């Protein structure tokens, strides 16, 4: 099948690569000539395990092409994916400028039937706006060309995007056109040979599903962070609680990890956009207010606990940071808790030494030559001479360090673990002062004696 993908960013590039891997002929369009030139040379602008090899393999096989020529790209694809950015606007809503521009471009160049697929995360009602934008261009050209608009939201996890696309747990297609639905089924059939996981629904329900899914994930994390605060005060361990509730199949084990806050390109933006959608139609989403409030508090927690131990003035202290990306497996720094943390530490006079396996170039580009910030080439180099070590991203290589060497290289054996990687008892045995999230050692316990019986 012939496919066009608008946008060579994260979603567009993964979509184009994975569809070409299954034998489709894919043309990926981007307005950035430098990005297209790099991709044509096999240079991948993002870190995603397995993506680079897949792009190069399919480009060499002639199934995957990159271009800035909109007419050629639109003419190539029967199915045209819109996978461009939808950044948050000032009021929290999703900015659809790029989506609607892509839709207009399709209308300007299409000569035969197209299935226009909204792959970007877009608010409910966007398919109608896309349909209107395409139709307006066709009217301007006085062209009678049939087309359909479909919602097909992505559910890709950064760091696991190739696996998610190639072996999906569900594919959602919102469509009201039988021909479009038939083509979408055919396109995804190679990914569903073991079991049909394609769910069809109306377009607006498909658009809303993506936002609700991400809001639910954010809610689970914020809920566990609330329970972590309670566990600390009651002398309980949130990690033990997590195992206990996660064993209930009605709850499951995913997104139950307390920590120093969630970030990334999806959860913050999508929770804000969903909140705005509710406000626009007179439905205040109070729970999402709480979800965001808890996350903002959680992102400040490591610095607050560090200040409680070392004081407000951190001049003369070196603080080590393990992890910069918002999650392991990616170099994405969007809304990463590390960035707020670095800002706060530097403002308090600390010298910050940080290590991340893949995200340091992004930090260097964001803050070139920033005074007080040093990016080093190993975890131990980040910890050397540090008054405290802050674990911010749960990369695998941080899970089992040489604790003896770590303690010996630090100025003061204080570890603030923002991802609960370590066993508090083991850390104490190794001679560390250890502070986790929701672990009983973090704060003094509050005694809750039973109420006396009435006389």
Distance CA 190, CA 165 (A): 11
Angle between helices 301-310 and 286-299 (to 10 degrees): 40
Handedness of CA 201, 205, 207, 212 (dihedral sign): negative
Burial level of 155, CB count in 10 A (0-12/13-18/19+)? middle
Taking the mean position of all CA atoms in its chain, how far away is CA 5? Answer: 21
What number of other Cβ atoms are within 10 A of residue 71's Cβ? 14
- Give the whole-angstrom CA distance, residue 125 versus residue 103: 14
Tell me if 372 sits within 8 A of 405, measured CB to CB: no
Cα distances (Å, whole numbers) of residue 5 to 27, 117, 130, 408: 6, 9, 15, 53
Q: Is 363 left (phi over 0), alpha (psi -120 to 50) or beta?
A: alpha
**Cα Rg of the chain, angstroms:** 25
Establish whether 303 is a catalytic residue: no
- What is residue 94's DSSP assignment? B
Task: Report the distance separating Cα 74 and Cα 163, nearest Å.
Answer: 28
- In angstroms, the CA 76 to CA 1 distance is 10
Please report, to the nearest 10 degrees, the dihedral formed by the alpha carbons of residues 218, 323, 433, 408 taken in order: 170
Q: What angle do CA 205, 79, 198 make, to 5 degrees?
A: 45
Per annotation, catalytic residue among 4, 28, 260, 266:
266
Report the alpha-carbon distance of residue 334 to residue 209 in Å, rounded: 23
Helix (H, G, I), strand (E, B) or coil at 179: helix
DSSP label at residue 88: B
Q: Residues with catalytic annotation? A: 266
């Amino acid at each position: 099948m012939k496919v066009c993908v608008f946008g060579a960013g994260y979603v567009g590039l993964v979509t184009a690569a994975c569809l070409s891997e299954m034998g489709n002929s894919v043309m990926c369009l981007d307005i950035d000539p430098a990005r297209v030139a790099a991709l044509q040379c096999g240079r991948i602008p993002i870190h995603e395990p397995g993506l680079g090899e897949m792009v190069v393999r399919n480009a060499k096989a002639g199934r995957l092409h990159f271009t800035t020529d909109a007419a050629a790209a639109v003419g190539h694809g029967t199915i045209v994916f819109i996978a461009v950015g939808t950044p948050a606007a000032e009021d929290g809503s999703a900015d659809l400028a790029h989506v609607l521009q892509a839709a207009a471009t399709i209308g300007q160049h299409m000569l035969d039937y197209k299935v226009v697929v909204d792959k970007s995360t877009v608010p409910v009602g966007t398919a109608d706006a896309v349909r209107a934008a395409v139709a307006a261009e066709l009217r301007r050209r006085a062209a009678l060309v049939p087309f359909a608009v479909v919602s097909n939201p992505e559910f890709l996890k950064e760091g696991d995007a190739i696996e998610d696309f190639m072996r999906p747990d569900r594919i959602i297609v919102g469509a009201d056109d039988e021909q479009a639905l038939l083509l979408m089924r055919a396109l995804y059939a190679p990914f569903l040979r073991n079991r049909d996981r394609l769910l069809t629904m109306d377009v607006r329900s498909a658009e809303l599903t993506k936002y609700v899914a991400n809001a639910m994930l954010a809610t689970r994390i914020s809920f566990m962070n609330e329970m972590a605060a309670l566990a600390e005060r009651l002398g309980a361990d949130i990690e033990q609680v997590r195992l206990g509730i996660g064993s209930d199949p009605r709850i499951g084990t995913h997104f139950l990890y307390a920590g120093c806050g969630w970030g990334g390109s999806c959860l913050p933006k999508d929770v804000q956009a969903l909140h705005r959608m509710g406000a626009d139609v007179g439905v205040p989403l109070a729970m999402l207010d709480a979800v965001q409030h808890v996350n903002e508090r959680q992102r400040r927690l490591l610095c607050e606990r560090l200040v409680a131990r070392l004081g407000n003035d951190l001049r003369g202290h070196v603080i080590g940071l393990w992890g910069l990306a918002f999650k392991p497996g990616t170099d994405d720094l969007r809304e990463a808790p590390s960035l707020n943390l670095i800002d706060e530490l530097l403002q308090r006079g600390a010298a910050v030494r940080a290590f991340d396996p893949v995200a340091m170039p992004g930090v260097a580009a964001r803050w070139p030559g920033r005074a007080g910030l040093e990016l080093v080439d190993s975890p131990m180099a980040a910890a050397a001479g540090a008054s405290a070590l802050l674990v911010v991203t749960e990369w695998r290589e941080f899970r089992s360090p040489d604790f003896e060497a770590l303690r010996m290289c630090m100025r003061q054996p204080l570890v603030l673990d923002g991802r609960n990687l370590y066993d508090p008892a083991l850390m104490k045995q190794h001679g560390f002062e250890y502070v986790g999230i929701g672990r009983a050692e973090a704060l003094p316990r509050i005694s809750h004696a039973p109420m006396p019986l009435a006389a």
